[in-house]
Structure 1
């Protein structure tokens, strides 16, 4: 295949043409470490695109939920993308771009669990997965430069530019692009939708469990994180940090988890920041305000949702919380609600009368990081008549005797409909094959329908209405999916004042 940047040789796989490891930006190494992404210069001759490129440097540890979320080889030269297409022709198919999550420190577009073949084959779509800088290499504020951080965002913008310019050669329609992501990838998708350039590069967005409640530090706050990393890495300044091999940066990141830890908060060593250039506001606030814009600034059509028990992922197997007491949890409520902490605690307890203190803590964090700010975006778009479709993933895995519930990431094998590639993941232990098949079909086909038409309805689901006020329609995905309403409830909306903007996002954040 001939492209403006050079010639590619992919491979045929089960009726698809697949191209892996395509560089979309210059390698961010040497002097380009901690610099915004730059265009790739192209290549001479024929570039073999049969194999994935390396994953971004990361810890690559094994965990009790996913079993791991990063696979070697790792390398700083990681800015590549992968394409699955039914045919490199002139069919102008809808395009789905996947941005992986991973708490801003893990994951890769090269992971088999994120392969785009199921969507490409089942939906006649062109699918692209993207790798980008994560951890210290993607999120570190390195000083007074205009773009002092958010290098991850410059990577993703570069990838979208590349896709828009080249995707027609792969059989895709550059004017019909949907960007989808989960967790940190959903936050990325929202940031792209809120960016002045990014919002013009795609038509629809799928936001799976966006952690909109995460705080976005400013430059000064981010520089304190930078100082902590310098200490953890054992160097005096950014110049010395630049000279370190990436392996040392990854080792220092392990220490940063402890530095940033606070009881009752989801530990995240690095966060997207408000640098005044790549991001001027929290994406949630920007999207909420943009919903009132009658023009293009309102951004793409949105499919948005979360899992019912998001925070079980972070707290369910953390020894720090195994014996959480009512007093500790009430104190954590006080951090969020101040004088209304007692009232808030009773509202949460009334919703879950069988919950122990840890259960109420996970409910609080799930609401603050995911459900409440997500619902605030849905409310804002609904009030302005902007299309948004909302879901909650309610299916609770039987793994670990049910301790995980419907935890963070659990919907991924179902949306991709590729549970066979998650054999390493403990959170699918005990799930019945029939549930994997039927719930997978329900979600996978809804995502395909949304990408193709902007409407997730299909014959395998009950009627899924757009989220409006006052109906607050919400699809509840479970072993038997149902059309529900109001995933938050009036009592909780009253606690949070009904919405969140810049200050609200900060207040909800970790």
Structure 2
């Protein structure tokens, strides 16, 4: 029988797939087009007929190259793309009022790419294996979500989208067999950063109580509103305008070109390049790392051992980087750059690319996460991991790179078959470590503890972390050389 659910916007018709009821492309906010472009998410007016929810909605507009823009990850957002992109997808084991825990996935992608509608992030494994209601969301990216100052009072549009989605989920979870009082957010990279933003949002903060934060760049230096507005004007200039007012009537494709131009224009040697960054405002008044220190939210947080290889390991510009080149980069962010280089080189060997990668991974990801463990010590509801399985691809240059834990988290490596960074990994390890991690994530969603029958995982005391590898073990947090 075709599943139909009456939501706050109207009735939707989904599909039955392998024992799950699946609904795709449900609008959670008004299309951000015409007068609503560059305005915070608005309520959807609803619909009267039963709406087809059997196909994914369009992904947010973003740079796209067939086969993938990333030599490591491959594709991360696939067409069709449309500014009318504020939709979500639901997988549920039953429309039966069973009050299942709800898991909400927020994708990453450098605030520029990604989609909740790509096969990588399908919610079927978590729904089926964990008896969970799983929701994935699309939200505005790049110039459409992060330009600041286009409309006064409307900043952090991406965050307004996510908050609107969370509000919709809380309102409608019960209709899909979920418990609106048992919502866990899970996000990786920019999605993990988003959770720290939602944890302080005026309304969203009250709508979830658990969070899984994977490889979040909590060490980002966030621009002031003035700095963010200057970036907006600079993008306008790149597209041939005097200032941001000229962007108002630009078509979708030109604004994507503006995102690509910003990626090139503001790229700096030795940095993890971003076209745009979130900005501190009334929705996000403190850095997300500070909001995540609130012990109200039960937290599972972690990183990969070699986060920083992702932007540098396969980039030929770094093949000939010298120690002096890297010291010059460090001079922009450390008081004694030579000392920083020497300490990393003492630990890793005098390999400039390795030193740069390690410092980048520590500064953006690992150090702020380790600081959170210390700040939350004694809460008893904080769990930490380090994903340490090395990739085989690219002659081992990646190590345990950024994003590598994702196929294991979702326990769906077959859907990542085209991702270059998985090439050559032992299938048995893929399956066994994926099963172990996937079950731990489900346990945390259901019980607030990632411990399973086969894996003893104690709460972190501020100095302990679960190292996830072919064999997993509790270990002392490894600190950075500086």
TM-score (structure 2 length as normaliser): 0.96
Q: Map 1:241-390; keep pairs closer than 5 Å.
A: 241-275=247-281, 277-288=282-293, 291=294, 298-339=295-336, 341-353=337-349, 356-382=351-377, 385=379, 387-390=381-384
Unaligned runs of 5+ in 1: 292-297, 496-510
1:483 partnered with 2:477: no
Name the CA distance, whole Å, in 2 between partners of 1:228 and 1:198: 32
SS at match of 1:18: strand
Which one of the candidate residues 180, 185, 208 is aligned to 1:174?
A: 180
Structure having the higher helix fraction is 1
SS at match of 2:39: coil
Which shows bigger deviation, 250-259 or 149-158?
250-259
SS at match of 1:467: coil
Which one of the candidate residues 12, 17, 20 is aligned to 2:24?
A: 20
Which one of the candidate residues 18, 33, 42 is aligned to 1:38?
A: 42
Name the CA distance, whole Å, in 2 between partners of 1:476 and 1:385: 21
Q: How much does 1:386 deviate?
A: 5.4
1:158 partnered with 2:154: no
In the alignment, is the contact (CA less than 8 A) between 1:69 and 1:106 conserved in 2?
yes
SS at match of 2:292: helix
Show CA shifts across 1:410-430 (max 9, x none). 000000000000111100000
1:499 matched residue in structure 2:
none
Which one of the candidate residues 372, 386, 391 is aligned to 2:385?
A: 391
Q: How much does 1:262 deviate?
A: 1.4
Show CA shifts across 1:7-31 (max 9, x none). 1110000000000000000000000
SS at match of 1:179: strand
SS at match of 1:351: helix
Show CA shifts across 1:169-199 (max 9, x none). 0000000000010000000011101223222
Name the CA distance, whole Å, in 2 between partners of 1:426 and 1:287: 33
Name the CA distance, whole Å, in 2 between partners of 1:73 and 1:393: 33
SS at match of 1:78: coil
Q: How much does 1:52 deviate?
A: 0.2
Name the CA distance, whole Å, in 2 between partners of 1:82 and 1:287: 26
1:414 partnered with 2:408: yes
Q: Map 1:63-142; keep pairs closer than 5 Å.
A: 63-142=70-149
In the alignment, is the contact (CA less than 8 A) between 1:193 and 1:299 conserved in 2?
no
Name the CA distance, whole Å, in 2 between partners of 1:2 and 1:267: 43
In the alignment, is the contact (CA less than 8 A) between 2:8 and 2:171 conserved in 1?
no
Gap change, CA 1:144 and 1:155, over 3 Å in 2: closer
Q: Map 1:458-469; keep pairs closer than 5 Å.
A: 458-461=452-455, 463-469=456-462
TM-score (structure 1 length as normaliser): 0.91
In the alignment, is the contact (CA less than 8 A) between 1:391 and 1:474 conserved in 2?
yes
Q: How much does 1:122 deviate?
A: 0.3
Which one of the candidate residues 442, 446, 456 is aligned to 2:440?
A: 446
Q: How much does 1:85 deviate?
A: 0.2
Which one of the candidate residues 199, 206, 216 is aligned to 1:210?
A: 216
Show CA shifts across 1:421-452 (max 9, x none). 01111000001110110110111111000000
Name the CA distance, whole Å, in 2 between partners of 1:371 and 1:192: 21
Unaligned runs of 5+ in 2: none
Number of residue-to-residue matches in the alignment: 475
In the alignment, is the contact (CA less than 8 A) between 1:163 and 1:174 conserved in 2?
yes
1:503 matched residue in structure 2:
none
Name the CA distance, whole Å, in 2 between partners of 1:335 and 1:241: 32
Q: Map 1:497-508; keep pairs closer than 5 Å.
A: none
Output the aligned Cα RMSD.
Answer: 1.4
